[in-house]
Amino acid sequence: MDTKIDQLKQIIPEKYILRQEPMKNHTTFRIGGPADIFVAPENMEEIKAVSCFAKEEGIPLFVLGNGSNLLVADDGMDGIVLQIYKNYSGIEVCGNELIVKAGTLLSSTSRAALNEELTGFEFAGGIPGTFGGAVVMNAGAYGGEMVQVLKEVTVLTKEGEIKTLKAEELELGYRTSNVLKNEYVVLEGVIALKKGNKEEIKAKMDEYALARKTKQPLEYPSAGSTFKRPEGYFAGKLIQDAGLKGYQVGDAQVSEKHSGFVINRGNATASDVMQLISDVKDKVKEQFGVTMEPEVKRVGRF
């Protein structure tokens, strides 16, 4: 990999290139072994250059935001991890629209909307992810989803072309889009909001924040909701009704506060989490005949 790193240094500043970087430092679960090469570009041109380099050299490439909704293997990840996060973030206001770089946190985006007295993005204030990741997953909460506000997205295609797509071209559905299928890299997007009352917007954001703090185990590292919502059911209630609240494998535990979350009590491994998920799926299937599908994305050398 030394040769590849020397080549990468010609593309982006050396300070943004790390070798054998522990992924636990870059995931909200605080779990994960080392990435062969970890890069964090600061502009669109560098992102494109790294992506094209990986393709030309036949090196696996994984695009990372702030590492929420992600479980990285204990043995780490092959190839290049391309982080689009703090180094590539920012918001531009244009009337009732916000132009948001992919690495910008949703919490920052919702605060910007509040400051501009724009309503429609309150639902996203507490979602622990980046704007780019939210587009990929059509992130949502409290009845709101990205599809309701997203106008258009600028992406990098697998052919190395930068193009802008309308939201309706992304096939946004429940926690899904065609971004992964088409191997797009989200670079930035535009959300269209409406003028509102600042006090009312803040009150709604505060209400959602309190609900999260009261109901979710924010005091522990996690990847957010562990399972997708089965049709006609609530994942957390099924797990709780199966008697698994507080169930533990190593330092991975079904939260006692909200059974829909698996938390890291300190030194949980990816293996602990995978075993716990498997046990939960088996128990729920056995008791209720419902197949639980993990929402957390698994990556790396499993």
Residue in 111, 175, 229, 298 annotated catalytic:
175
Q: Which of 89, 110, 222, 225 is catalytic?
A: 225
What's the one-letter identity of residue 18?
L
What CA–CA distance (Å, rounded) separates 166 from 154? Answer: 9
Establish whether 145 is a catalytic residue. no
Q: Is 219 exposed, middle or buried (0-12, 13-18, 19+ CB in 10 A)?
A: exposed
For the question of residue 111 being annotated catalytic, the response is no
How many H-runs (helices) and E-runs (strands) does the chain carry?
A: 7, 19
In this structure, which long-range contacts are made by residues 56-61, counting pairs with CB atoms below 8 Å and at least 24 apart in sequence? 57/4, 57/7, 59/4
Q: Are strands 162-166 and 150-156 parallel, antiparallel or unpaired?
A: antiparallel
225 among known catalytic residues: yes
CA 302/CA 106 separation, integer angstroms: 30
Give a three-class secondary structure readout of 95-162. CCEEEEECCCEHHHHHHHHHHCCEECCHHHCCCCCEHHHHHHHCCEECCEEHHHCEEEEEEECCCCCE
CB atoms within 10 A of CB 34: 20
Neighbouring residues of 8: CB distance < 8 A, sequence distance ≥ 6: 17, 37, 39, 50, 53, 80
Q: Which of 57, 117, 256, 295 is catalytic?
A: 295
Q: Which residues are catalytic?
A: 175, 225, 295
